[in-house]
């Protein structure tokens, strides 16, 4: 929903890559070598593809989205490869390696283990607790062993793994999403990408209450009168709505918007002044924790992924001028 600056992910990226290499690199390379040895000798592009994965393993883990296509063109530009094909395997080895070519690569690269271990730790360290596409679902991560986690999130592949299997464990190709958004996106590509180099490009979407609906609500106090609008950059808003149905999802949260209206009316300057005077040891001034106490949500953009609906609440609070 809000983008994250690449520079703010460096520690998480480095820890992810270090642990993936420590725990998985040698076994993955062994599996890829075994896979390569069983490919039909006539499928030279398939063999070469796996050789690149072995040789460029460390680099692939760190690729940024802007580098995906360059890597593909420079190293993996093999137009004859059919990743869905089941005819790539030497006929003598059918049974050991079944299924599509891409699925065997994904398995060899140990994607599922990495998702539930190293990637889960990385997402936790970034403070991402909600779906990055809708910001409407909690995604708790529970540590069940020293390294393994039980995760409520799904790792969406920005570039789908059935078309780009070399990116199946690339850190910046994995985006934590809820089950609803992941299934809605399916294997389609989306215009919204989570990471950016540009600090001016962090917030591509915004919510607001339709002004007429506020007036209608204030005459009737009927929550259903409120209309939450979802807007954004012209280049991605239509695609995001088509993929994830954000406006329809947020129709279920009119009561949350209503509560912000109540707070806008009741939390006045005199109210906060009295609060500070009465509880000075607690409320010395209105810093971010105290604002969260008053309004019930995080007030900084950097915290949007910590709690569901934070993006909507911040935007409406700014519209109503209770947040700057």
Domain boundaries, the chain: 4-196, 203-319
Does 288 have pLDDT greater than 60?
A: no
Structure tokens at 169: 């464990």
The Cα diameter of the chain in Å comes to: 82
The per-residue pLDDT for range 206-237, each reduced to its tens digit, is: 999 999 999 999 999 999 999 999 999 999 99
Query: Which residue is listed with tokens 């591509």?
Result: 204
Give the pLDDT confidence score for residue 267 in this predicted structure: 85
Structure tokens at 321: 């001028």
Structure tokens at 94: 């059918």
The H or E element containing residue 172 is none
pTM of the model: 0.91
Q: How far apart are CA 96 and CA 87, in angstroms?
A: 13
Q: How far apart are CA 114 and CA 148, in angstroms?
A: 9
The per-residue pLDDT for range 244-262, each reduced to its tens digit, is: 999 999 999 999 999 999 9
Among 60, 57, 11, 67, CA closest to 193: 67
Confidence of residue 146 (pLDDT cuts 50, 70, 90): low
Q: How far apart are CA 3 and CA 205, in angstroms?
A: 10
Q: How far apart are CA 258 and CA 92, in angstroms?
A: 66
Give the pLDDT confidence score for residue 93 in this predicted structure: 65
Confidence of residue 153 (pLDDT cuts 50, 70, 90): confident
CB 304 within 8 A of CB 311: yes
The per-residue pLDDT for range 70-104, each reduced to its tens digit, is: 888 877 666 678 899 888 887 676 667 778 999 99
**Per-residue exposure over 182-194, b if at least 16 CB sit within 10 Å of its own CB, e if not:** bebbeeeebebbb
Averaged pLDDT for residues 102-129: 94
């Amino acid at each position: 929903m809000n983008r994250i600056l690449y520079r703010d992910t460096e520690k998480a990226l480095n820890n992810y890559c270090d642990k993936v290499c420590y725990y998985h690199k040698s076994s993955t390379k062994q599996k890829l070598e075994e896979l390569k040895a069983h490919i039909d000798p006539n499928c030279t592009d398939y063999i070469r593809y796996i050789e690149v994965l072995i040789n460029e393993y460390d680099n692939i883990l760190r690729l940024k989205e802007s580098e995906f296509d360059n890597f593909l063109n420079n190293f993996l530009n093999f137009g004859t490869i059919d990743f869905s094909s089941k005819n790539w395997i030497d006929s003598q080895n059918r049974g050991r390696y079944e299924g599509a070519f891409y699925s065997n690569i994904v398995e060899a690269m140990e994607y599922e283990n990495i998702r539930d271990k190293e990637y889960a730790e990385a997402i936790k360290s970034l403070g991402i607790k909600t779906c990055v596409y809708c910001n409407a679902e909690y995604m708790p991560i529970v540590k069940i062993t020293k390294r393994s986690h039980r995760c409520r999130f799904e790792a969406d592949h920005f570039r789908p793994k059935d078309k780009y299997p070399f990116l199946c464990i690339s850190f910046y190709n994995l985006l934590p999403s809820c089950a609803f958004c992941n299934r809605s996106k399916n294997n389609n590509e989306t215009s919204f990408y989570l990471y950016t180099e540009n600090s001016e490009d962090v917030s591509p979407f915004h919510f607001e209450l339709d002004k007429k609906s506020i007036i209608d609500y204030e005459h009737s106090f009927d929550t259903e009168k409120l209309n939450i609008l979802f807007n954004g950059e012209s280049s991605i808003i239509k695609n995001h709505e088509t993929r994830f149905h954000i406006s329809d999802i947020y129709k279920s949260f009119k009561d949350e918007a209503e509560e912000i209206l109540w707070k806008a009316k009741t939390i006045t300057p005199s109210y906060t002044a009295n609060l500070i005077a009465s509880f000075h040891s607690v409320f010395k001034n209105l810093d971010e924790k105290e604002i969260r106490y008053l309004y019930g949500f995080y007030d900084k953009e950097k915290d949007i992924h910590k709690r569901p609906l934070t993006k909507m609440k911040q935007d409406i609070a700014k519209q109503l001028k209770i947040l700057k």
